[in-house]
Amino acid sequence: MITPAPIQSAALFLTQNCNLRCAYCYTGEKKNLPMTLETAQQAIDFLHEHSEKQCNITFLGGEPLLEFKLLCNIARYSRDKYGRYFNFRLSTNGTLLTKKVLSFFREHRIYFALSIDGNRKQHDSQRKFANNRGSYDTIMDNLDDIFEFNPYTMAVSVITPETVNHVSAGAKSLFAEGFRYVLQTLDYSADWKKEHLKTLKEQYTILAEYYYHKLMDGKKIHYGPFDERIRTWAQKPYQKGDLCDIANTHIAVAPSGRLYPCVQFIGEDRAKWKDNSIGDVFSGFDNDRRISYIEDNYREKQSCKGCALDGRCANFCGCVNWQATGNVDQVPPIICEHERMLMPIADRLANRLWKRNSSLFKRKFYQKIFPFSSYIEDCLLADGGSNAAD
């Protein structure tokens, strides 16, 4: 039997409420039922007790900035009681970011990923306010302040069958707006058909050409669908728990204080959703249920036996598997189709850059110190220095 490991990261689900009504949202009905401060403090104490040395906490929702006061109180409570033990992160739709919010984030070193789906047309078709108005312009109004706060802010986009035609234009738009890190991921629970994947293949092929020329010109960009797969080709395949370690080193805490394997399992945190719970912050873990989820996630996927892509593709993600099939260890067919289509594009791109002796490509994927050295280079550039790679 598996012995659970110390917690390394946790998602604090501050509220079920949100000011947007995104077409692909998996969290269920929006209700103004936020986490109480008492529950939040108990969660911090619980996570400190069940982790070692350090723990990363991500504030989620709904839209967590609807509970900005609670977020501030959590950060202050944690710092006063545990110093710098916790690292705080945030996932936000960006519509509630203000100079006051960013000032607090700067003071407490809270960084965030921004949910934005590409260009205006792509984004506003999926990510609308409750009054059906698109949210793209509201985010763009805050963009200068966002990049002043953190030039490396990541853009996180969701690709759906309805927006698949905009994938390449959307990614290029985000890079043109100043994002350096763009992560596009599929809504795996959507109704994907062969024609959608054919279009997506065309879009990835366009982006591969774009990515190639950017790196050959010494421009540092990170595009998730390519980088994550090239990394498994250049370095090593994913091992169990590397990126998805639900119920084990990673857990989620609902507004009620219930513990879940990951945020996708919280839903509305009531009725059938409570069956996914692995305990609560007041009475502790239900170890049998926790271990059951860990074992399911670690179990070899029968449909992946003998596959040349095993260890390189998204079958490792128990959350995605569960969201699409209802089973942690059952890989949805859309993942197989997507990875078999995408992996050759990423591999051809990597081979092409290698053969052209791209120094930026080789540093990026073969030098362990690249994130640090790249940051130093960027700082020198900002101070008027020079960078041979750029």
Q: List pLDDT tens digits, range 324-341.
A: 888 888 888 898 899 999
Give the chain's mean pLDDT: 92
pTM over 0.85: yes
Q: In the chain, what are the domain boundaries? A: 1-115+240-303, 116-235+332-385
Is-contact 291 4, C-beta < 8 A? yes
Confidence band for 388, pLDDT divided at 50, 70 and 90 = very low
Whether 1-115+240-303 and 116-235+332-385 share one fold: the answer is yes
Q: What pLDDT does 320 receive?
A: 80
Confidence band for 316, pLDDT divided at 50, 70 and 90 = low
Q: Choose the CATH number for 116-235+332-385 among 3.30.9.10, 3.30.590.20, 3.40.50.11540, 3.20.20.70.
A: 3.20.20.70
Q: What is the third-level CATH fold of 1-115+240-303?
A: TIM Barrel (3.20.20)
Confidence band for 390, pLDDT divided at 50, 70 and 90 = very low
pLDDT at 359 over 80: yes
pLDDT at 362 over 50: yes
Is-contact 44 78, C-beta < 8 A? yes
Is-contact 122 136, C-beta < 8 A? no
- Mean pLDDT of the region 273-300: 93
* Contacts of residue 112, Cβ cutoff 8 Å, sequence gap at least 6: 89, 90, 91, 92, 105, 150, 153
Taking only Cα atoms into account, the Rg of the chain, rounded to an integer number of angstroms, comes to: 21
The runs of H, that is alpha helices, within the chain are: 37-49, 68-82, 99-108, 120-124, 136-149, 167-177, 194-216, 224-234, 287-298, 318-325, 333-355, 359-366, 370-382
Q: What is the pLDDT of residues 12-52, one digit of tens each?
A: 999 999 999 999 998 878 889 899 999 999 999 999 999 99
pLDDT at 235 over 90: no
Confidence band for 199, pLDDT divided at 50, 70 and 90 = very high
Q: Which of 388, 348, 116 is nearest to 211 (CA)?
A: 348
* Higher local confidence (pLDDT), 380 or 287: 287
Q: Is 187 exposed, middle or buried (0-12, 13-18, 19+ CB in 10 A)?
A: buried
**How far apart, in Å, do the first and last CA atoms of the chain sit?**
51
Q: What is the pLDDT of residues 50-99, one digit of tens each?
A: 999 899 999 999 999 999 999 999 999 999 999 999 999 999 999 999 99
- Mean pLDDT of the region 205-233: 95
d(CA 280, CA 274): 11
d(CA 274, CA 267): 9
Region class of 266: left (phi > 0), else alpha (psi between -120 and 50), else beta = alpha
